[in-house]
Amino acid sequence: MTPIDPSGTFTLGQHTVKRLGYGAIQLTGPGVLGPPRDPAAALAVLRTAVDCGVNHLDTSDFYGPHITNRLIREALHPYPSDLVIVTKVGVGRGPDGGWHPALSREALTQAVHDNLRNLGLDVLEVVDLRAMIDVHQPLEPAEGSIEEPLSALAELQRQGLIRHIGLSNVTSAQIVQGRRICEVVCVQNYYNVAHRADDTLIDELADEGIAYVPYFPLGGFTPLRSSTLTGVAQRLGATPVQVALAWLLRRAPNVLLIPGTSSVQHLRENIAAAALALPDDAMAELNGMATLVRDLPAGGSRRWPTCLSSRGPAA
């Protein structure tokens, strides 16, 4: 038994994965650009995650760019047979490090081949189409057709370069549209104990057997800080981060977590959340945190972390 086993499992594509995985976005340099300050530490984080039982790894070739995928290959290739690597396409990086939509057929094809090359794979297990419709609110899903870019990915799937397709940063209507084009095995949107616009969507996807993967489950690069989280954590002898992750694990059976860190110590703390049982009174208290966000001005809950300005990461 591994430390992550208490998190439970859920189906992702053809595989059964542990519900507590790992997201590699923090393994690059500052601003998700360039190599990490300590490449050996980054490799150690990846190897420790797998040693602890993680078999769901989230990445993208636009992290770095190219850096995280090359680190993953160096640390873990040849990959364990049960490891599911999920990557994302649909976003590019500018010369200034900014993030921009890259949804043309040519850009998506190039991104898939970049992921294959840098990960050292012949086929990508799961590729998420990351929709970036409104560049001014990149964490806020915006309505708009995804038919053209998703059809391009579906063609690459038919060519045998992709096994399964997911969607990221999408609305319910876009998910419906997407499922008319191809099977959708997962949805990755911004969600955590305080930011809960997708509450209804999560339950709908659970009924359909589709995984929901919250990115920024701990608030991203500006971690969640709350007297409620702190109080519950103190009563349970845990950290606020562990409580936030445990809440997500209990939220719905189809929720798969991908908390990121560049520290082995923090990785082990995150993994310990798999065994943290939240009593009903703690769940009720934590559920009330959502009201704090609902009272914010429109658009106030999903802006980029201020430390990264308007060029924050498209997780």
Q: Which residue has the tokens 């939220």?
A: 251
For residue 168, give the nearest of 71, 84, 59, 252 by alpha carbon: 59
Q: Is the dihedral of CA 216, 220, 226, 229 positive or negative?
A: positive
Q: Are 21 and 57 in contact (CB under 8 A)?
A: yes
Q: Which residue has the tokens 């997201």?
A: 23
C-alpha separations of 220 from 181, 307, 315 in Å: 31, 11, 9
Judging by DSSP bridges, how do beta strands 211-215 and 15-18 pair with one another? unpaired
Q: Is 215 a catalytic residue?
A: no
C-alpha separations of 8 from 17, 142, 301 in Å: 8, 32, 30
Largest Cα separation within the chain, whole Å, is 53
> Cis (ω within 30 of 0) for the bond into 259?
no
What six digits make up the tokens of 240? Answer: 């606020």
CA 164/CA 246 separation, integer angstroms = 28
- φ, ψ (nearest 5 deg) of residue 20: -110, 110
Q: Are 190 and 214 in contact (CB under 8 A)?
A: yes
Catalytic pick from 63, 190, 212, 215?
63
Report angle CA 87, 117, 13 to the nearest 5 degrees. Answer: 35
* One-letter amino acid for residue 197 of the chain: A
> Cis (ω within 30 of 0) for the bond into 65?
yes
Q: Which residue has the tokens 């499922």?
A: 179
Q: What amino acid positions are annotated as catalytic residues?
A: 63
